[in-house]
A and B are shown apart, each in its own frame.
Chain A
Amino acid sequence: MNERSPATAITGATAITGAPGAPGAPPPAAAADRVDLKALLADSNVTEVLDELDAELTGLKPVKARIRDIAALLLVERARKQVGLVGGSPSLHMSFTGNPGTGKTTVAMRMAQILHRLGYVRKGHLVAVTRDDLVGQYIGHTAPKTKEVLKKAMGGVLFIDEAYYLYRPENERDYGQEAIEILLQVMENQRDDLVVILAGYADRMETFFRSNPGLSSRIAHHLDFPDYLPEELEGIAERMLEGMQYRLSPSAAAALHQYIPLRMKQPHFANARSIRNALDRARLRQANRLFAQKGPPLGRDALMTIEGEDLRASRVFE
């Protein structure tokens, strides 16, 4: 599998990292001078999470590739520690940018798991917050609020959704700046204790970073979430239906195939979220249809199947 390639690449690097005659200070006597990266990889169970990520999330190629890179980096870092090479722990604060519904929150949750398996964060929980959780309403309210959230997130990942709302240039007395300063301090000084992920729409995040260069420079990984292709959205729809124990009749599958490109052209298209909403509305119509029809008692099949008409009733087809 070519998706496994980063893992294989690490195994290939064993010879370099583990070379006994490496220049620099001799490693402490207690440290081993050879590391088996394969064993480390197996030990961390991280491949499972990565494979799960591949299997459960459709599309997002660049994001997945980047996550594999990060996993490889952390494994090598662990191996370096075992042979006694010291070099401060890498900074793993990230920013996730992308249009609505591209899976930023979902990936952030996975990221917490991956970082936990790799031993980079101690507990591996995700604390998702927005501006309201960080910024107070009056003077002196912001700092304790932000600090409390940071304390809760320690040992895990702090996910700040729509991070650009933290900074409001139009109001110079806005308390968001104070929250950013506290955030910066902790991001810099307590790197071992938590990982901060900032998420938001690409264009607004860019303005946000431009006006807060300190923040931008402390974030090593900028991950851009691409929009989904129509085929990918179809796959996502199928997976969602599977999760809700529904299925599409052939006519409904054809309707969905037409629906997606039409919906994509409409305003306020929010990728997977729009698809979820469309499916929810189809369920509504299915329920209505089942109620309206008179006939024999309904079987399991009828309760599960979404017909073409349930989808075609959508406004998009007008």
Chain B
Amino acid sequence: MKITQGTFSFLPDLTDAEIRAQIDYALAQGWAIGIEYTDDPHPRNFYWEMWGNPMFDLRDAAGAMTEVSACRKAHPQTYIRVNAFDAALGFETTRLSFIVNRPAIEPGFLLKRHEVGGRQIQYTIESYAAQAPEGQRYT
């Protein structure tokens, strides 16, 4: 099951040229670029691991692209996303976030139904991948 989180996630995966163009757009807006990765694909997992510090004062996408490929090399079987932060409000706000790498096989989610008071049902989802301990998922 292809995970759809962030911008462009309903499109086919972006090519490197497209990623570069998006980063160039973000830099032209004066946004900083951060790269993050995770192996826990739950949609409520906001806190991904940071790949180095966010990159401020870049002028060209080449610098960010070298970090994207370095992160892919180190964590090929994880989700990697590029975030663009806007500091216009006085704090860094995420203005753009899109996935640039995903594991080869994405097993998807288990839908759990909890029966609570009477006939009421509460639903929750659990990632099949996240059932293995951290670091042993998607291997």
Give A residues with C-beta under 8 Å from B: 122-123, 125, 144, 148, 150-152, 154-156, 190, 193-194
Residue of A151, A152, A193 with most partner-chain B CB within 10 A: A151
Per the bound structure, the CA–CA distance linking A148 and B61 in Å amounts to 13
Interface membership of chain B positions 40-77, coded 1 if the CB is closer than 8 angstroms to chain A and 0 otherwise: 00000000000010010111111110110000000000
Q: Are A122 and B60 in contact (CB under 8 A)?
A: yes
Residue of A125, A154, A156, A190 with most partner-chain B CB within 10 A: A154
Q: Are A123 and B60 in contact (CB under 8 A)?
A: yes
Given the complex, which residues of A lie within 8 Å of B55, measured CB to CB?
148, 151
Residue of B57, B63, B64, B66 with most partner-chain A CB within 10 A: B63
Q: Are A155 and B59 in contact (CB under 8 A)?
A: yes
Q: Are B59 and A156 in contact (CB under 8 A)?
A: yes
Given the complex, which residues of B lie within 8 Å of A122, measured CB to CB?
60, 62
Q: Please, could you name 15 A-B residue pairs with CB atoms under 8 Å apart, sorted by A? A: A123-B60, A125-B59, A144-B52, A148-B55, A150-B63, A151-B55, A151-B66, A152-B58, A152-B59, A154-B58, A154-B59, A155-B59, A155-B60, A155-B63, A193-B62
Q: Are B62 and A155 in contact (CB under 8 A)?
A: yes
Given the complex, which residues of B lie within 8 Å of A150, measured CB to CB?
63
Per the bound structure, the CA–CA distance linking A155 and B52 in Å amounts to 21
Per the bound structure, the CA–CA distance linking A193 and B62 in Å amounts to 7
What is the chain A residue whose CB lies nearest that of B52?
Answer: A144
Given the complex, which residues of B lie within 8 Å of A190, measured CB to CB?
62, 66
Given the complex, which residues of B lie within 8 Å of A125, measured CB to CB?
59
Per the bound structure, the CA–CA distance linking A194 and B60 in Å amounts to 10
Q: Are B60 and A156 in contact (CB under 8 A)?
A: yes
What is the chain B residue whose CB lies nearest that of A148?
Answer: B55
Per the bound structure, the CA–CA distance linking A190 and B60 in Å amounts to 13
Per the bound structure, the CA–CA distance linking A151 and B54 in Å amounts to 12
Can you add 18 more A-B contacts, CB < 8 Å, to A151-B55, A155-B59, A190-B62?
A122-B62, A123-B59, A125-B59, A148-B55, A150-B63, A151-B58, A151-B63, A152-B58, A152-B59, A154-B58, A154-B59, A155-B60, A155-B62, A155-B63, A156-B59, A190-B66, A193-B62, A194-B62
B32 → chain A closest CB, angstroms: 12
Per the bound structure, the CA–CA distance linking A194 and B67 in Å amounts to 16
Given the complex, which residues of B lie within 8 Å of A194, measured CB to CB?
62
